[in-house]
Structure 1
């Protein structure tokens, strides 16, 4: 399994667009939190996490599908990074849920 972090930028978007994006990404299995040592942490705005056996390209395709349902034009900017090792971070806020 690979830990993927996905960043999605919708161009000329407002808060409603990003709320719709969060809903669509969540429906595709992406989360807005990460869990480290049993503690959940909030990711920065418009970043998502998913743990999967899919390839980076397949994760990108899933993210594109979700983002394009919200705003297909101009094409959303999406970056996918994956790591088989645990993540490290600084400055994240503890998740409220």
Structure 2
């Protein structure tokens, strides 16, 4: 039985979306692919930036994109390892 995603799972989903977009994703793409409301998107983007998992860049027209930092890539690797560990004990 799967329920609502937790905060960490949502953060992982968002980071994977950015990585899968060649490490450059627009906010709208992240919002739709992660199935988040605009308010939730802003909340999570803010947290990911504060934790230095992502950085924001703007083009000449002011359009924002987000990219992973080294810390963001490390989070994805560690999260996957943690999920494997939990699965090995049938705890997921």
Give me the TM-score of the superposition, normalised by structure 2. 0.35
Taking CA–CA contacts closer than 8 Å with sequence separation of 6 or more, which of the two structures ends up with the larger relative contact order?
A: 1
Larger Rg: 2
Give me the TM-score of the superposition, normalised by structure 1. 0.33
Q: Which has the higher strand share?
A: 1
Q: Which has the higher helix share?
A: 2
